[in-house]
């Protein structure tokens, strides 16, 4: 590590949730390498043993449990007296047709992906306000701007993270606190296996079987996805840029997919998605997929 960069961040404290695998583990390591004191949080503390061996402080935290979050932040403040970076990364994909997903599971998806993040913000912001400095980095997804069938509740949480973060950015700017959204594309982590299992368990044998199995096949093609370190690097950039961007869109497909969503009318985008998934050429009112493939989308 560059010594100048290391000394600049030597006493800064960073929190990373969802650090037991994937993006969170990569982010914790990258921030630790840059000289931050890193607190890594997840439920599976045993999965964070390699982080702890590297000098990262690993703690068992469930983001849906208020007492667990409160104790976590209290411990960090008693040990270090400050919090400079909060990376809200914990999340999972609760997939399945909207008709099939039990409402209790939909609520759990919001508890983990949105309310856990929002509660941590409430616990951390008073300390950042006192410091008149701090950064909150919320891990959203390109799924916070685009949609696939079978991912409705996941999209609902990530669209919510996007809107929530925009408001938070405006509210915290006068206190010198930056709020950044990171929107990963496809990243090679446990996310796809967890989401694929949820999908098949929920809709693999229902009226939506065809769409569910088609999407499960797309999710299982993990080889092309970007490494989680790509997002870890973006998190470091967002943590250290003098003027961080409001959004970082990184990882396989992130930019092209978002441009396509921006450029295409809703129904054309729907057809493109069906084409990629290989399903539903004759879903209510839409022309056959073959017509789209031939470039006739109107
Ligand atoms: N992978 C992708 O392609 C992709 C794309 C866009 C966005 N994202 C987002 O990136 C974030 C990280 O996902 P990932 O890809 O790194 O997936 P991952 O490897 O499955 O990691 C998810 C992390 O979230 C933690 N987590 C889940 N529920 C939790 C809870 N109740 N309390 C505390 N921690 C919890 C898990 O830890 P424990 O199970 O040990 O608690 C795990 O460390 C998520 O918000 C995801 O939606 C991922």
Domain total of the chain: 2
Low-confidence ranges of the chain (pLDDT < 70): 1-10, 222, 280-298
* 248 in catalytic set: no
Give the CATH number for residue 55: 3.40.50.720
My answer on whether 127 and 88 are in the same domain is: yes
Question: How many C-beta neighbours within 10 Å does residue 134 have?
Answer: 24
Q: Which of 36, 154, 164, 208 is catalytic?
A: 154
My answer on whether 104 and 197 are in the same domain is: yes
My answer on whether 256 and 209 are in the same domain is: yes
Consecutive H or E run containing 136: strand 134-139
User: For position 223, what pLDDT does the model report?
Assistant: 76
> Which structure tokens are listed for 13?
């404290």
My answer on whether 54 and 70 are in the same domain is: yes
Which residues, judged by CB distance below 6 Å to any ligand atom, belong to the binding site of ligand 1?
17-24, 42-44, 47, 61-64, 89-92, 112, 139, 141, 184, 186-187, 189-191, 194, 228
My answer on whether 140 and 250 are in the same domain is: yes
Contact 185, 253 (CB under 8 A): yes
CA–centroid distance, residue 22 to ligand 1 (Å): 7
Select from 86, 149, 143, 141 the least CA-distant residue to 118. Answer: 86
User: For position 10, what pLDDT does the model report?
Assistant: 59
User: For position 279, what pLDDT does the model report?
Assistant: 85
Contact 19, 40 (CB under 8 A): yes
Q: Which residues does residue 139 pair with via DSSP β-bridges, in sequence order? A: 182
Question: How many C-beta neighbours within 10 Å does residue 60 have?
Answer: 15
Q: What is the pLDDT of residues 183-211, one digit of tens each?
A: 999 999 999 999 999 999 999 999 999 99
CA–centroid distance, residue 211 to ligand 1 (Å): 24
Domain span at 295: 264-298
My answer on whether 201 and 288 are in the same domain is: no
My answer on whether 144 and 276 are in the same domain is: no
User: For position 280, what pLDDT does the model report?
Assistant: 66
């Amino acid at each position: 590590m560059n010594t100048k960069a290391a000394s600049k961040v030597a006493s800064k404290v960073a929190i990373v949730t969802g650090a037991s695998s994937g993006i969170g583990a990569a982010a914790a390591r990258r921030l630790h390498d840059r000289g931050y004191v890193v607190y890594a949080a997840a439920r599976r503390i045993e999965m964070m043993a390699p982080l702890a061996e590297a000098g990262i402080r690993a703690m068992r935290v469930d983001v849906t449990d208020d007492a667990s979050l409160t104790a976590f932040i209290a411990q960090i403040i008693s040990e270090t007296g400050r919090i400079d970076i909060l990376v809200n990364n914990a999340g999972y994909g609760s997939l399945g047709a909207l008709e099939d997903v039990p409402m209790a599971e939909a609520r759990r998806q919001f508890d983990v992906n949105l309310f856990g993040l929002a509660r941590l913000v409430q616990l951390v912001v008073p300390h950042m306000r006192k410091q008149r400095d701090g950064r909150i980095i919320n891990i959203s997804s390109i799924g916070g701007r685009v949609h696939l069938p079978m991912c409705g509740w996941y999209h609902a949480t990530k669209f919510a993270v996007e809107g929530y973060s925009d408001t938070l950015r405006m509210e915290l700017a006068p206190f010198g606190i930056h709020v950044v959204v990171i929107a990963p594309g496809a990243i090679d982590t446990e996310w796809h296996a967890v989401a694929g299992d949820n999908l098949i368990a929920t809709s693999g044998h229902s009226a939506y079987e065809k769409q569910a199995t088609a999407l499960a096949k797309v999710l299982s093609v993990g080889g092309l996805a970007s490494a989680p370190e790509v997002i870890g690097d973006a998190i470091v950039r967002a943590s250290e840029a003098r003027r961080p961007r409001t959004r970082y869109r990184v990882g396989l497909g992130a930019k092209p997919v978002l441009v396509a969503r921006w450029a295409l009318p809703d129904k054309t985008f729907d057809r493109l998605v069906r084409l990629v998934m290989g399903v539903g050429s004759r879903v209510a009112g839409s022309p056959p997929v073959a017509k789209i493939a031939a470039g006739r989308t109107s």
